[in-house]
Amino acid sequence: MAQQEPPSSLQNLLFMIGRNSKGQWVVQDKGGLHGGLFVNRIEALKYALFENGNRPQAVVMVPGVLELNMTGKASGPQRTLSANELQLRAA
């Protein structure tokens, strides 16, 4: 059986996988329309691959903090601030 191409709406999806500030695994598409919280990295990766038509090249692991944002407005990963940076901002 020939493998079918995903619908054109899925072909442009880029999924980000990372952890939020509470340590939970997050998957978020770049457009902010698809995503969720997952119990572990493997389940997050399975979801991202399923949603994007099994295209591993369209999944990116985020090194910083990735907060789930389902407002439909794209937001990139957030950088975690160091204690010194937090003190400077509070001053």
Residue 55 domain flag: yes
Distance separating alpha carbons of residues 64 and 7, to the nearest angstrom: 31
pTM of the model: 0.66
- The total domain count for the chain is 1
Domain holding 58, by residue range, is 13-90
Residue 3 domain flag: no
Distance separating alpha carbons of residues 53 and 61, to the nearest angstrom: 17
Structure tokens given for 70: 């389902």
| pLDDT, tens digit (0-9, with 9 covering 90-100), for 27-78 | 999 888 899 999 999 999 999 999 999 999 999 999 999 999 877 765 555 5
Chain Cα centroid distance, residue 23: 13
| pLDDT, tens digit (0-9, with 9 covering 90-100), for 17-39 | 999 999 999 999 988 889 999 99
Phi, psi of 35 (to 5 degrees): 160, -175
Structure tokens given for 19: 């952890």
